[in-house]
Amino acid sequence: MLTRLTPRHVRGLPVADRPLLMGVVNVTPDSFSDGGRFDRAEVAIAHGLELLADGADLLDIGGESTRPGATRPLVTEELARVVPVITALAAQGAVVSVDTMRAEVARAALDAGAAVVNDVSGGLADPEILRVVADSGATYVAMHWRAHATEMQQRATYDDVVREVRDELSARIDAALAAGIEPDRLAIDPGLGFAKTADHNWELLRRLDELDVLGMPILVGSSRKSFLGTLLAGPDGVPRPVDDREDATTALTTLAGMLGVWAVRVHQTRSSADALRVSARLLGHQFGRSSATGKVIEA
Ligand code: PMM
């Protein structure tokens, strides 16, 4: 039995009668899902605009691949990848999030117009990032994380994955608040695939309501991840390729809409935007208002 989450919003970000749709722009040569496709600034910018036209509410710009085993780029490389793309997309009116674990990159991204810092390490990789976000008054997304990509697979051990993720996220919320980030500018994310097996991911999705007690909006990123490839493996056991996991991603977006998460992070926004409009039309009244269009109302 899946339990609906408490509706929650983040101050200063769009509000809708459905989960917000975060479109991913990976400006990297090596991300698992789309590495090398958008690693030139003008291609990444065009892709961001396409995601917006297809229904994204905000864009998540990242310059570091977190695929298992990936080596980290230099700070200078990461900055050179993301800053021009953020500058251009923010100038065109997009609500921009930067996907980074580094304080220095977060600071430059906020200066370039980003409104959100999406930190997959929840402040563990570079604790200074919390202070940078607090000083700027931006939104902070704290994801559950245990280790960098080179060693995260070995850290996928839990007695009860949901309880441990909840407790570890609770500690990250405390750290963010202690650094001065305001509670209504915080969101959390269970970090599917980060130090998690496929079974851990499914368990987290099944028991997402147990994270609701933390009192924070929840973002979920399942798009194209390997647990979907494993689920959809053919009779030969070969996982479904990354670029053929879109329908499964949309199915999970539909589920997220029914559960009432705050936001979903996806690589392709068109089908997920449709899925969210369908779930909002069906269930919108449960958010306290109903809309036939799923149109975003500015906060
Ligand atoms: N997943 C990836 C990168 N950033 N951020 C959040 N908040 N949640 C996620 O699940 C997440 C993330 C990895 O996927 P990608 O390399 O295809 O972007």
CA–CA gap between residue 64 and residue 32 (Å, rounded): 11
24 within ligand 1 shell (Cβ under 6 A): yes
Half-sphere exposure of 299 (CA within 13 A, CB side): 15
Any idea which of 16-20, 32-36, 107-111, 272-276 has the lowest mean pLDDT?
Answer: 32-36
Ligand 1 centroid distance, CA of 234 (Å): 25
* pLDDT tens for each residue of 205-217: 999 999 999 999 9
pLDDT of residue 134: 98
Known catalytic residue at 196: no
Contact (Cβ atoms closer than 8 angstroms) between residue 270 and residue 253: no
b/e string for 132-146 if b means 16 or more Cβ within 10 A?
bbbebebbbbbbbbb
Amino acid at 222: S
185 catalytic? Reply is: no
> Does pLDDT of 29 surpass 60?
yes
pLDDT at position 69 = 78
Give the span between the Cα atoms of 206 and 259, in whole angstroms: 10
Cα–Cα distance measured from residue 231 to residue 5, given in angstroms and rounded to the nearest whole number: 26
pLDDT at 67: 84
Q: Quick one: residue 73, left, alpha or beta (phi over 0 = left, psi -120 to 50 = alpha)?
A: beta
Give residue 158's pLDDT band: very low, low, confident or very high (50, 70, 90): very high
What ligand 1 atom has the least distance to the C-alpha of 67? 16
Split at pLDDT 50, 70, 90, the class of 76 is very high
pLDDT of residue 284: 67
Give the distance (Å) from ligand 1 centre to CA of residue 221.
6
SS3 157: coil
Residue 32 CB less than 6 A away from ligand 1: yes
Q: What is the band of 292 on the pLDDT scale with cuts at 50, 70, 90?
A: very low
Active-site option among 166, 245, 265, 277 = 265
Closest among 146, 166, 168, 144 to 156, alpha carbons compared: 146
Q: Which of 37, 47, 99 to mutate to test the pocket of ligand 1 (most atoms within 8 A of CB)?
A: 99
Task: Output the pLDDT for position 30.
Answer: 72
Cβ 226 under 6 angstroms from ligand 1 = no
**Per-residue pLDDT tens digits for 224-269:** 999 999 999 999 999 999 999 999 999 999 999 899 999 999 999 9
| Better-predicted residue by pLDDT, 66 or 56 | 56
* Unique residue bearing structure tokens 């935007």: 273
Query: Which atom in ligand 1 lies closest to the alpha carbon of residue 99?
Result: 4
pTM over 0.85: yes
Answer with the residue of higher pLDDT: 17 or 1.
Answer: 17
pLDDT band of residue 70 (cuts 50, 70, 90) is confident
221 lines ligand 1 (CB under 6 A): yes
CB of residue 195 inside a 6 A radius of ligand 1? no
Residue 80: per-residue pLDDT? 96
